[in-house]
Structure 1
């Protein structure tokens, strides 16, 4: 253990990032100094290297970095990032695949099993309904089994659900299989973004969490392609729905080689285990990696101190969402972003894509093939987010993408007003143009519905926060999917598309302009500081920056529009 008599380091040894974090937590850390060797020196001066040296001593005493068959390692730890993201984000591929496979199966499954329209609505919405259940057990699984094992459990549920789907003999069996599959989707959907966000570097966190949405879109396109492949095969819907078994099996074995999230291990008090993982996946040679590990430890100590002093609820931590302003702001912000992503209708459109194509005038075979247009647009739309979100920032990205998919909704709504009997080609072209715009811009925007919740909750509440966000996401998906046919009948096709989905998009755009903070280029611990600011202060800053941003845009001062890490804009 480090000695408290160690001479403090010069004041500028640390980056501004570490100084800000330590300055914020200086009031709570001194009482913990006797119990832990992290904090050294006086007046808020703390030495990063002493923690790393102490960890190295503990590691040597424990026998060093002993490796088993499952402990994958690279010479350059940064290469581990891509392996983690590749296998963990395959959950997105599975989620998207199972969402779109049902679209192709919809053309044949109801006839084979003798389902009514109401029964088929429940079959379609069975997966998001099950996903609500998966989301509700997310917190328990994440806190007791960890992020990694929660993902592994979800792949097992995926496999069981897909096998039962393929072998379904009646209405009850197909609904049960969809619900079981949904539980896996809900558990995986809330865990993978957190696992990635807690593991990768801050400078690429938004890009790599966005890769999860890319894989969802890729899975959806793949689902439409699989449906087209088996279109002429007898019993085609069984092959279509059972195809996801291949991917769930690959993901299961891949996850066995991946480590647990270091922030989760730190949260559970397993500092040495967290350091072992950190050294494997991030390394400790670079100063920014050492500093981030240090700040991660400091933040956990701060949370422990808050619980010890009674300012956080030890027995029921989730109560902090009601009593702690910082946690409450994160909960409201994350879940409004979730609702904006779901209540604009994307999942209903994805699930019923083939049927919608059939309504606009395509026959059953062409409807299956043309569904690839919508899925492909969603996939292509996610690509800019992967490469550019960290450059432009969350706030700028959201406010530019949402109006784009609103225009797509307007065009889709207009296509329903064209008489298909007299102008079938015009109706189809108008619909497809609107669909491409809607799905393309939504693909860019949808990445935020995973990035935002995965990064805004404090570490000790992240499992509980993602439980609420994940449950709300799939509950909203279930509501819009299950009620899609009834809402379309009650509101008309144009009324539902433009009036309801479009209206939500307009309201959401104004909400984002006023209340959405910028979390670009911040560590998860720095985001804690951001959400401790009063909402009125964030809103006032956003309004000021928005007015200045619009002025710069229309005056041609585009170089001023680069977002700062605080969410404002550079002046001049």
Structure 2
């Protein structure tokens, strides 16, 4: 199974994932049930782009004040920062399952608050509740899935969470379009998110805790029973032995009083493996946001109106195309992430993103320099480029950062490590979403997209130097690699990547 520290994952493809899931449907049950958190994550982050158009029509104060529009959009992100921070600690202290259940409760009540909101202030309150749930779900769902997946198909299964995120965003645009002429418009758009939260809550009550969390907390028999439903008999003992060895090594390095959150943070940063994992995990999460993706997902109807489509309904319909492409890209990621690797997909994705952002900037500049009004040719260019941007973003930078963060930390620090990285993601998201409209007012659309291209170039450089390849490796093998330290120029590390050529 393992030779020279590397699992033979070269032949693992999307079809292998489904063959395994077909033989062992329990794996897919766990992945899809936990992945509903991704659906809620995607829906609640995507739905506001269309709902905002109608909130502005109902409340003059929102229509007049750009900062109020930005706040309504961004308060979910602010809540997500807190939710991710709390979620990291809750994951390690109480388990992955409890974290998902708490997220569902927050989703449900946030949706109800927004649906009955009498004014902008209550919409903002509901967005904060939803954001808390989004933050917890964003790092817990991929973590739960990765710990309940055979390592050879772990990337593809965690990508199902990415597919459900993008699927949730696509669903949000469908719902937005469906309710454009229904009384209550935005109330239905925002309130309907309570239903999948309720469904997931019920499903999760019948599912087990993460087997790796159980093993780490002394419930070895229960963990072995669950792993026995995931791994074939000939692989189970090897997996249990690797897990037992890893936990014994972790416990040898423990110090009394490390159970508190601040002690855990201090311990995490003082651990070489965790710190190097955080360099990689935070890098990919920050880079994911500073390519400007959520300006497209949150404000795409507004951006499309900038390009000359004035009708709310037309802008929403065209935005449906971008979100559909995003979901399609997640399927591409599922097909190739275990074949070509995490690092390679992200580097290719970043190169494509930079190219698209530069060309989008040129198109916007030409449009602003031309006569008043936007020609049909310019709008066609814009829509095509926006679609290309989504296509190159989604399979790489869209899904892979969450996969990397679900598998790069030692078991003891997996919750807190994923939480720290998720906080960096949502903090970056907040900065980008809260400043986008203001940037377009001061720099213009061309200058804003060119700025994102510059940030993307910096992100590409950091990914190249700091992020190792983890495809096909057992969690314990990832720890050993980080213990030695990673460099793209080290012969040993290049050998690891060369053994996964992708064909």
Confirm or deny a common fold (TM above 0.5): yes
- Distance in 2 between residues matched to 1:542 and 1:192, nearest whole Å: 35
- Distance in 2 between residues matched to 1:571 and 1:482, nearest whole Å: 40
- Report the 3-state secondary structure (helix = DSSP H, G, I; strand = E; otherwise coil) of the residue aligned with 2:287: helix
User: 2:24 matched to 1:78?
Assistant: yes
- Distance in 1 between residues matched to 2:466 and 2:124, nearest whole Å: 40
Once the two structures are superposed, the pairs formed by residues 181-192 of structure 1 within 5 Å of their partners are 181-192=130-141
Counterpart of 1:447 (choices 399, 405, 417) is 399
- Contact 1:398–1:448 (CA<8 Å) still a contact in 2? yes
| Residue 467 of structure 1: how far off its partner (Å) | 1.4
Larger mean Cα displacement after TM superposition, 394-403 or 328-337: 394-403
User: 2:98 matched to 1:156?
Assistant: no
Counterpart of 1:523 (choices 461, 474, 489) is 474
> CA 1:438–1:307 in structure 2 vs 1: closer, same or farther (change >3 Å)?
same
User: 2:49 matched to 1:98?
Assistant: no
| Residue 461 of structure 1: how far off its partner (Å) | 0.7
Counterpart of 1:204 (choices 149, 153, 178) is 153
- Distance in 2 between residues matched to 1:162 and 1:532, nearest whole Å: 44
Counterpart of 2:320 (choices 364, 372, 380) is 372
- Distance in 1 between residues matched to 2:2 and 2:438, nearest whole Å: 56
Paired residue for 1:472?
Answer: 424
Paired residue for 1:336?
Answer: 283
| Residue 313 of structure 1: how far off its partner (Å) | 5.6
Counterpart of 2:408 (choices 441, 456, 459) is 456
User: 2:348 matched to 1:400?
Assistant: yes
- Distance in 1 between residues matched to 2:491 and 2:433, nearest whole Å: 34
Structure with the higher helix share, 1 or 2 = 2
- Distance in 1 between residues matched to 2:45 and 2:462, nearest whole Å: 29
| Residue 270 of structure 1: how far off its partner (Å) | 1.5
Counterpart of 2:86 (choices 108, 117, 137) is 137
Once the two structures are superposed, the pairs formed by residues 231-270 of structure 1 within 5 Å of their partners are 231-270=180-219
Once the two structures are superposed, the pairs formed by residues 483-562 of structure 1 within 5 Å of their partners are 483-498=435-450, 500-535=451-486, 538-541=487-490, 545=494
| Residue 277 of structure 1: how far off its partner (Å) | 1.8
| Residue 212 of structure 1: how far off its partner (Å) | 1.0
- Distance in 2 between residues matched to 1:569 and 1:154, nearest whole Å: 37
Paired residue for 1:303?
Answer: 250
- Contact 1:77–1:281 (CA<8 Å) still a contact in 2? no
- Report the 3-state secondary structure (helix = DSSP H, G, I; strand = E; otherwise coil) of the residue aligned with 2:169: helix
Higher relative contact order (CA 8 A, sep 6+): 2
Paired residue for 1:294?
Answer: 241
- Contact 1:411–1:430 (CA<8 Å) still a contact in 2? no
- Distance in 1 between residues matched to 2:91 and 2:224, nearest whole Å: 20
- Contact 1:154–1:187 (CA<8 Å) still a contact in 2? yes
Counterpart of 1:413 (choices 361, 375, 379) is 361
> CA 1:207–1:197 in structure 2 vs 1: closer, same or farther (change >3 Å)?
same
- Contact 1:405–1:440 (CA<8 Å) still a contact in 2? no
- Distance in 2 between residues matched to 1:249 and 1:118, nearest whole Å: 33
Counterpart of 1:385 (choices 316, 327, 333) is 333
- Distance in 1 between residues matched to 2:207 and 2:333, nearest whole Å: 26
Paired residue for 2:53?
Answer: 107
User: 2:225 matched to 1:273?
Assistant: no
Larger mean Cα displacement after TM superposition, 471-480 or 408-417: 408-417
- Contact 1:206–1:451 (CA<8 Å) still a contact in 2? yes
- Contact 1:81–1:281 (CA<8 Å) still a contact in 2? yes
Runs of 4+ in 1 over 4 A off after TM superposition: 312-315, 542-545, 564-572
Gap regions ≥5 residues in structure 1 = 1-14, 22-74, 546-563
RMSD: 2.4
Paired residue for 1:37?
Answer: none
- Report the 3-state secondary structure (helix = DSSP H, G, I; strand = E; otherwise coil) of the residue aligned with 2:148: coil
- Contact 2:55–2:186 (CA<8 Å) still a contact in 1? yes
> CA 1:423–1:570 in structure 2 vs 1: closer, same or farther (change >3 Å)?
closer
| Residue 314 of structure 1: how far off its partner (Å) | 6.7
- Distance in 2 between residues matched to 1:421 and 1:375, nearest whole Å: 29
TM-score w.r.t. the length of structure 2 is 0.90
- Distance in 2 between residues matched to 1:465 and 1:542, nearest whole Å: 28
> CA 1:20–1:405 in structure 2 vs 1: closer, same or farther (change >3 Å)?
closer
- Distance in 2 between residues matched to 1:466 and 1:570, nearest whole Å: 28
- Distance in 1 between residues matched to 2:500 and 2:392, nearest whole Å: 24
